[in-house]
Amino acid sequence: MLGAALVSLAVVFVAELGDKSQLITMTYALRHRWWVVLSGVGIAAMLVHGLSVAIGHFLGVTLPEKPIAFAAAIAFLLFAAWTWREGRNAADEDVRVAEPRFVVLAIISSFVLAELGDKTMLATVALASDRDAIGVWIGATVGMVLADGVAILAGAMLHRRLPDGFLHAMASVLFLLFGLWMLFDAALGWRVVAVVATGGVAAVVVAVAVVGSMRARRARAEAGTPPRESSSETV
């Protein structure tokens, strides 16, 4: 069991590095307390890898990828709208003082939907087919929590340096990009459309952010410039 746990921990930890689940974790950590996000990630990891172990060890079947991807895409688009609305309503408040309702449930559901059929789950299924099931479950869960803990740390550091309004907008855009990519690529199989859609949205967001930053900088410069005094002509 120990060997299976160590192998699974290493495989899942490496597979999670740079994966979309790390970006999702960081997105949640931009808006909520680290222990809330970590709790949701831990529960989701136990559920996903428990299902993976059951599939690999007992059933030996595969999950329908496209319906799951479609459900995940819709969920992330809804999260994007919810985050944007929450940011506008709480523009003058500290969004981390009180956690919104059902945050942990939202984290769990989004992670489960995002991980079903992902390469991490497939790796866990393969490991559980010929190794100790409990060891694989424990190792995979710990590996996922450790990898996503790095993303939580990054999100917490960004939250200390950036204003809440910007973080809400950033989180909303990331959820929107996740949803569009899952909808067009994983659910519909339109890779080119997915690249164009997500790239176009990202480019528009960057352009709007640059223009807004320039306008804000110009406004601050004008506000800090002393009024010009009229000079009298010398004879």
Q: For 132-191, what is each residue's pLDDT tens digit?
A: 888 889 998 999 999 888 888 888 787 777 776 677 677 778 878 878 887 888 778 888
Residue 195 has pLDDT above 80, yes or no: yes
Most confident option among 45-54, 101-110, 168-177, 214-223 = 45-54
Residue 61 has pLDDT above 70, yes or no: no
Can you tell me the mean pLDDT for 44-61? 78
pLDDT of residue 59: 62
Q: How far apart are the first and last CA of the chain?
A: 98
In terms of residues, how long is the chain? 235
pLDDT of residue 128: 80
The dihedral over CA atoms of 210, 215, 217, 219, expressed in degrees to the nearest 10, equals: -170
For the chain, the average pLDDT equals 77
User: What is Dmax (Cα atoms) for the chain?
Assistant: 101
Nearest Cα residue to 158 out of 18, 24, 26:
26
The band of 95, judged by pLDDT with boundaries at 50, 70 and 90, is very low
Beta carbons of 36 and 102 less than 8 angstroms apart: no
Cα three-residue angle 135-145-68, rounded to 5 degrees:
90
Tokens of 166: 């910007």
Residue 23 CA to residue 37 CA, distance in Å, equals: 12
Most confident option among 65-79, 115-129, 186-200 = 186-200
Residue 235 CA to residue 224 CA, distance in Å, equals: 33
Tokens of 226: 């002393």
| Minimum mean pLDDT range among 47-51, 63-67, 110-114, 205-209 | 63-67
The band of 90, judged by pLDDT with boundaries at 50, 70 and 90, is low
| Minimum mean pLDDT range among 107-121, 177-191, 221-235 | 221-235
